[in-house]
Amino acid sequence: MKKLFAMLALVLAAPLMLQSNVALAADTEKTKQVVYHFNKSDMNTIKAGLRNATNHVNSPSGPETAIEIVVHGGGIKMMTEARQDPQLAAAIDNLKANGVDFKVCANTLRGKGLEVSDLYYTDESDIVPSGVAYLADQQMEGWAYIHP
Amino acid sequence: MKKLFAMLALVLAAPLMLQSNVALAADTEKTKQVVYHFNKSDMNTIKAGLRNATNHVNSPSGPETAIEIVVHGGGIKMMTEARQDPQLAAAIDNLKANGVDFKVCANTLRGKGLEVSDLYYTDESDIVPSGVAYLADQQMEGWAYIHP
Amino acid sequence: MKKLFAMLALVLAAPLMLQSNVALAADTEKTKQVVYHFNKSDMNTIKAGLRNATNHVNSPSGPETAIEIVVHGGGIKMMTEARQDPQLAAAIDNLKANGVDFKVCANTLRGKGLEVSDLYYTDESDIVPSGVAYLADQQMEGWAYIHP
- pLDDT tens, A111-123? 999 999 999 999 9
- Contact call for B145 and C144, based on CB within 8 A: yes
Helices (H), chain A: 2-12, 21-29, 43-58, 77-81, 86-97, 106-112, 131-140
* B77 SS3 class: helix
- Written as tens digits, the pLDDT of chain B (148 aa) is 444 454 555 445 444 443 444 444 444 489 999 999 999 999 999 999 999 999 999 999 999 999 999 999 999 999 999 999 999 999 999 999 999 999 999 999 999 999 999 999 999 999 999 999 999 999 999 999 999 9
Report the sign of the C-alpha dihedral through residues A23, A27, A29, A33, in that order.
Answer: positive
**Looking at chain A, how many residues does it have?**
148
| Chain B residue nearest residue A105, CA to CA | B55
> What's at A59, amino acid-wise?
S
Out of B56, B61, B148, name the one closest to residue A39 (CB).
B148
Q: CA of B83, closest CA in chain A: separation in Å?
A: 26
- Give pLDDT tens digits for C73-88: 999 999 999 999 999 9
B39 touches chain A (CB under 8 A): no
The C-alpha of A82 sits at a distance from chain C's nearest C-alpha, in angstroms, of 23
CB A126, CB A101: distance < 8 Å: yes
Q: Where are the alpha helices (DSSP H) in A66-122?
A: 77-81, 86-97, 106-112
Report the relative pairing of strands B32-38 and B65-71 from DSSP bridges. Answer: parallel
- Pair C66, C32: CB distance under 8 Å: yes
CA-nearest residue to A58 within chain C is C130
Task: Provide the phi-psi class of C14: left if phi over 0, else alpha when psi is between -120 and 50, else beta.
Answer: alpha
CB A140 within 8 A of CB A102: no
Residue of A8, A32, A146 lying closest to C9 (CB–CB): A8
ipTM summary value: 0.82
Q: Please give the single-letter amino acid code of residue C21.
A: N
**Phi, psi torsion values for B15, nearest 5 degrees:** -65, -20
Task: Inform me whether the C-beta atom of residue B44 falls under 8 Å from chain A C-beta atoms.
Answer: no
